[in-house]
Structure 1
Amino acid sequence: MDAEEEITKGQAEVWEHMFAFVDSMALKCAVELGIPDIINSHGHPVTLSEIINSLQTTTSSSSSPNIDYLTRVMRLLVRKRILSSHFHQETSQTLYDLTPSSKWLLRDSKFNLSPVISFFLHPSILEPWQYLGKCVEENGLAFEKAHGCEIWDLAVANPQFNQVFNDGMGCTAKMIAGEMLTEYKDGFSGISSLVDVGGGKGAMIAAIVEANPHIKGINFDLPHVLATAQEHPGVTHVTGDMFVEIPEADAVIMKWIMHDWSDENCVKILKNCYKAISKTKNGKVIIVDCVLQPDGNGLFDETGLTFDLLMMVIPGGKERTEVEWNDLLKSAGFPRYNLIQIPTIHSIIEAFPE
């Protein structure tokens, strides 16, 4: 490639990055309209007319869907491999079908990422990104600059946002629980009681207890979170603050908790975890979180770097490399750990007090 071609390629890459948000909004549009579900309900590739007809029967709007708009959205979704398409010669129509990506967007699938999309692309989550440069320039938390409060305070004050937040986190909890029960099933064998710190509505601990009925499950979170939580067999909901005290148990599990917080706050949480398992001979803390590989080429390594910025912008936390995790654990009194890879963006870190 000569110098002129490199310059032109650079220009093309800038345009692509500049409008990457359009891909996100097209994805959100597909989720809001339920397009993957519409295709799936037919049981075969569908035409635009069939999608339009399904939209007309499910929407409460008095106006008809715009077929030109839909055509253009579908074209981009196909280009981005969210959907697939092929031209049917006999009918002279384009048929649309699901891909491995859009199968993760089906509402009735076992692991559905649609609630996560609704959360991370919610206007309240998108607005703080406008303050990223300002935060680099003058410090501070982007979410606070955008909303005048932290994300946890907004969840308390805004029930609708709280619902979107909890649905998104509950969705990831089910997905991670599924992976853990496959890849880490032996890790629960010697545990008789397990507290899920920041467990939300209890989806993950419920799945773990269902698969391991010998475990007494404790779902631990803030009062406003548990206010709408359903009861789960074998699980007790306990309200409290992880910075003050964590209920005693044989083991503590934390999914996507540590990355929300600074190193200083993480050490406080881990020390409270240490106290919670201190009366158990073989106690441990199970951390389900990202382990950054900044130079890695794995499926989720680039997403990990994206999540690191997300944590900086929204709650003010960070993702960590294995070296950083090691330093953090040692600071809190956990000299030994195991790192277990699972087929998602998360890893499992077993931390031991001795």
Structure 2
Amino acid sequence: MERIELDEAMLQGQAEIWRYLYSFADSMALKCAVELRIADIIHSNGGPLTLSQIASCINGGLTSPDITTLARIMRLLIRRKIFTVHHPSDGGDLLYDLTHSSRWLLHDSEQTLVPMVLMENHPLQMAPWHYFSQCVKEGGFAFKKAHGCEIWDLASRNPDFNKLFNDGLACTSKFLTSVILSSYKQGLSSIGSLVDVGGGTGGLISEIVKKHPHIKGINFDLPHVVSTAPTYDGVSHIGGDLFHAIPNADAVILKILT
């Protein structure tokens, strides 16, 4: 009996290793769905679509996608509950639809994680994960080991990556804005100036100032970040390094992404 239990435990252990070994495929399939705009295609239709209908809309219908590959990707995303599939009562083709998860993959939605999915799964962001063992052996930071510089330095000389990084962080700020505005009404009404330290392109501070126009808003981040920030009424963009000094204000807000 003990031998049988040991064999079953070993088989279960092997299964767990295989599961973790291929878990990266989930992120890649998610990125694929975003790049192909699958959620947007279904959403634009207003209801579920067959695989062929989804394929016909990819790239504006200008190409003929590989249906077999698309089916495999959708099968994985359905198992992960990103999309759902229905069997029509008339026996027709399977119909694919959105879930609460895939609604976060809509490009033009106010509540979207598309920029974060694209940023976190970009090759430049994936490379540092291969340096964990070196970090353990030698210390230091994985990003710098992978690219020879800190992420901020790379962003400062790579405009495309800078935009990707800033857009990724900006989309997460939107989720917190309504919470901050509803939870700190009294505190925000009693200050005259507020500096958002590490405020990115200024999305959060602009919404605070819009709701409380008496506040003088200051968006503070690295120069290459604020150089691409839009103009907002009541908000000044200031470039600098928070480890050296920050602008004077009545209050400071600092959002940490973990």
2:14 counterpart residue number: 11
2:34 counterpart residue number: 31
What's the offset of the Cα at 1:91? 4.5
Structure 1 unaligned residues grouped into runs of 5+: 257-288, 291-354
CA–CA separation in structure 2 for the residues paired with 1:160 and 1:81: 32
CA–CA separation in structure 1 for the residues paired with 2:191 and 2:8: 60
CA–CA separation in structure 1 for the residues paired with 2:183 and 2:49: 37
Q: Is the alpha carbon distance of 1:183 and 1:39 closer, same or farther for their aligned partners in structure 2, counting shifts above 3 Å?
A: farther
Counterpart check, 1:113 vs 2:113: yes
What is the identity percentage for the equivalent residue pairs of Structure 1 and Structure 2? 53
2:43 counterpart residue number: 40
Q: Is the alpha carbon distance of 1:184 and 1:98 closer, same or farther for their aligned partners in structure 2, counting shifts above 3 Å?
A: farther
CA–CA separation in structure 1 for the residues paired with 2:59 and 2:165: 29
CA–CA separation in structure 2 for the residues paired with 1:187 and 1:108: 32
Describe how 1:57-72 pairs up with structure 2 within 5 A: 57=60, 63-72=63-72
Of 22-31 and 91-100, the range deviating more from structure 2? 91-100
Task: Name the SS for the 2:248 alignment partner.
Answer: coil
Counterpart check, 1:86 vs 2:86: yes
CA–CA separation in structure 2 for the residues paired with 1:208 and 1:161: 27
CA–CA separation in structure 1 for the residues paired with 2:162 and 2:231: 19
What's the offset of the Cα at 1:26? 0.1
CA–CA separation in structure 2 for the residues paired with 1:58 and 1:125: 31
2:228 counterpart residue number: 228
Describe how 1:1-354 pairs up with structure 2 within 5 A: 2-57=5-60, 63-256=63-256, 290=258
What's the offset of the Cα at 1:58? 5.8
What's the offset of the Cα at 1:125? 0.6
CA–CA separation in structure 2 for the residues paired with 1:210 and 1:81: 37
What's the offset of the Cα at 1:53? 1.4
Q: Is the alpha carbon distance of 1:58 and 1:227 closer, same or farther for their aligned partners in structure 2, counting shifts above 3 Å?
A: farther
CA–CA separation in structure 1 for the residues paired with 2:118 and 2:179: 22
Kindly indicate whether the alpha-carbon contact (under 8 Å) linking 1:56 and 1:64 is maintained by their aligned counterparts in 2. Answer: no
CA–CA separation in structure 1 for the residues paired with 2:121 and 2:36: 15
- How many residue pairs align between the two structures? 255
The aligned amino acid for 1:45 is: P
Kindly indicate whether the alpha-carbon contact (under 8 Å) linking 2:206 and 2:233 is maintained by their aligned counterparts in 1. Answer: yes
Tell me the TM-score normalised to structure 2 length: 0.94
Kindly indicate whether the alpha-carbon contact (under 8 Å) linking 1:52 and 1:67 is maintained by their aligned counterparts in 2. Answer: yes
Structure with bigger helix share is 2
RMSD of aligned Cα (Å): 1.6
CA–CA separation in structure 2 for the residues paired with 1:137 and 1:200: 33
Task: Name the SS for the 2:220 alignment partner.
Answer: strand
Measured against aligned partners, the alpha-carbon deviations of 1:33-69 in whole angstroms (never above 9, x if no partner) come to 111111111111111111111114266xxx4111111
Task: Name the SS for the 1:241 alignment partner.
Answer: coil
Kindly indicate whether the alpha-carbon contact (under 8 Å) linking 1:48 and 1:95 is maintained by their aligned counterparts in 2. Answer: yes
Task: Name the SS for the 1:231 alignment partner.
Answer: coil
Tell me the TM-score normalised to structure 1 length: 0.69
Q: Is the alpha carbon distance of 1:185 and 1:91 closer, same or farther for their aligned partners in structure 2, counting shifts above 3 Å?
A: farther
